[in-house]
Amino acid sequence: MSYRVIQWATGGVGRAAMEGVLAHPELELAGAWVHSPDKEGADLGTLLCRDQLGVTATGDVDALLATDADCVLYSPIFADPGVVAAILESGKNVVSPLGWFYPPPEERQKFDAIAKAAGVTLHGTGINPGGITERFPLMISALSGSVTHVRAEEYSDIRTYGAPDVVRDWMLFGKTPDEARASVMIDALGGGFRQSIFMVADEMGFDADPQLQTTHEMAVATKPIDSPIGPIQPGTVAAQRFTWEATVDGVPVVTATVNWLMGEEDLDPEWTFGPDGERFEVEITGDPSCLTTFKKLHPETIEEGLVRNPGVVATAMHCVNAIPYVCQAEPGLLTYLEMPLVAGRAAPGVHRDRRASNSANPA
């Protein structure tokens, strides 16, 4: 049995997700929603630069809602809750890196009711937020007691992110500091990071204050910096650091930070990634403390990243690998706290059908 999957949006995450679905032994690609008119009607193999697959892309929402499929991997740039509700109501499970990691009570009750009424499941997952900021901190925290602080932090060269419109028009790199202070990223990203932070705080029992502390720091270019969105001119924003913190009586207890730099040169102030380079970190301060570093989720070069960024692929694969588990789960909105452990699958040459072999495994 294979689960039929519709990919909703075919940008960087979407293309990586379709590749992941095609390589996954339990999944089958059933369709894709596209925003761009020039992708309308294209064979999905063409979009992936491979042989024809016999499945075409469409912008027709109603047609996709009527398509026979088990799950939708929903990954446009920004989420439309109304569309997600319609997908659930059509009888399809939804996995998404755009939220629903640990929504506030009113939103959770709404989508939980929609999913249960349709007999399907909604699950939020991804990488940052969606993994580095909550799933892995909770897992690693089990090695410690008397925890006083949890930190999840990203260090990335944003020149390797192959979405120039987002970098220029939403993240506002290359703008003046005053313009960048008005960025929607604090709210757009903050919606996901807030969920991650409160999941950690609630599950670990921190008596967190009701509001998060948020900071936005910037560095400007001191010389022109080449980038995929054109030269970053002196005096304009070339690095940004966003931090969200849960506090107890004003003292930080759970912190999520992203450091996005246009390289490490010609910045004021002089920010760098430090000696460990680009990475993700999860740190637990407790008894004992623990620091875990995730490497190889960043490309070796800017050019490589613009073609296929490992961090984007990891985001997609965390979603893809969740699909069989979501399709088998009880209906409702399920977070990591309600889902079983999700695992990847062996490559085709070394793969064995785990469903067929489970019954033969010794107890």
On whether both 318 and 187 belong to a single domain, the answer is no
CA dist 18 to 46, 47, 119, 120, 344, Å? 12, 10, 25, 21, 15
Greatest Cα pair distance in the chain = 65
8-state DSSP, 187: H
The tokens for 39 are 């992708």
Q: Which residues on adjacent β-strands are paired with residue 285? A: 149
Residues 140 and 252 in one domain: yes
- One domain for residues 87 and 21: yes
Per the prediction, the chain carries an average pLDDT of: 94
Q: Which structural domain, as residue segments, surrounds residue 158? A: 135-296
Q: Is the pLDDT of residue 96 over 90?
A: yes
Q: Are residues 241 and 93 in the same domain?
A: no
| 63 and 10 fall within a common domain | yes
What's the rounded Cα separation, in Å, for the pair 133 and 88?
26
pLDDT of residue 248: 97
What are the backbone dihedrals phi and psi of residue 171, each rounded to the nearest 5 degrees, phi first?
-75, -25
* pLDDT surpasses 80 at 217: yes
Are residues 188 and 86 part of one domain? no
Among 124-138, 216-230, 347-361, the least confident range: 347-361
Using the Cα atoms of residue 88, residue 17, residue 97 and residue 331 in order, give the sign of their dihedral: positive
305 part of a folded domain: no
Does 34 reside within a domain? yes
**What are the b/e assignments for 124-151, b being 16+ CB within 10 Å?**
bbbbbbbbbbbbbbbebbeebeebebbb
Q: Is the pLDDT of residue 165 over 60?
A: yes
The answer to whether residues 214 and 334 belong to one domain is no
Cβ within 8 Å of residue 116, ≥6 positions away = 331, 332
At residue 354, the pLDDT reads 63
pLDDT, one tens digit per residue, over 276-311 is 999 999 999 999 999 999 999 999 999 999 999 999
Same domain? For 147 and 185 the reply is yes
Segment among 108-122, 126-140, 238-252, 342-356 with least mean pLDDT? 342-356
Q: How many domains does the chain have?
A: 2
Does the structure show a pLDDT above 60 at 347? yes
Stretch 3-17: mean pLDDT, rounded?
Answer: 96
Decide: 57 and 41 in contact? Cβ < 8 Å. Answer: yes
Per-residue model confidence as pLDDT tens digits over 255-271: 999 999 999 999 999 99
Contact 246, 206 (CB under 8 A): yes
d(C-alpha 1, C-alpha 285), whole Å: 45
**Residue 11 carries which DSSP code?**
S
Q: In this predicted model, what pLDDT tens digit does every residue of 53-78 receive, in sequence order? A: 999 999 999 999 999 999 999 999 88
357 confidence band (pLDDT: 50, 70, 90): low
Question: Is a pLDDT exceeding 90 seen at residue 350?
Answer: no
pTM: 0.93
Statement to judge: residues 107 and 238 lie in one domain: no
Comparing 60-64, 117-121, 178-182, 293-297, the range with the smallest average pLDDT is: 178-182
Q: According to the model, what pLDDT value does residue 184 have?
A: 77
Is residue 358 over pLDDT 60? Answer: no
Question: Over 50: is that where the pLDDT of 159 sits?
Answer: yes
C-alpha to C-alpha distance for 26 and 24, rounded to whole angstroms: 6
Task: Report the C-alpha gap between 169 and 144 in whole angstroms.
Answer: 42
pLDDT at 1: 73
Is residue 361 pLDDT above 80, yes or no?
no
Model confidence at 356, pLDDT cuts 50, 70, 90, reads low
Residue 247 domain-assigned (yes or no):
yes
- Give the pLDDT mean for 322-336: 98
Query: Is 170 within the bounds of a domain?
Result: yes
Q: If 0-12 CB within 10 Å is exposed, 13-18 middle and 19+ buried, where does residue 283 land?
A: middle
Quick check: 128 and 154 in contact, CB under 8 A? yes
Residue 87 structure tokens: 């997908």
152 falls within a domain: yes
The CATH number linked to 41 is: 3.40.50.720
Are 108 and 140 found together in one domain?
Answer: no
Query: Do 206 and 88 lie in a common domain?
Result: no
The neighbouring-strand residues paired with 57 are: 32
Q: Which residue has the higher pLDDT, 226 or 166?
A: 226
Decide if pLDDT at 353 tops 90.
no
357 Cβ neighbours under 8 A, 6+ residues apart: none
Given a contact cutoff of 8 angstroms between Cβ atoms, the answer to whether 335 and 102 are in contact is yes
Band (183; pLDDT cuts 50, 70, 90): confident
Do 123 and 339 touch, CB atoms closer than 8 A?
Answer: yes
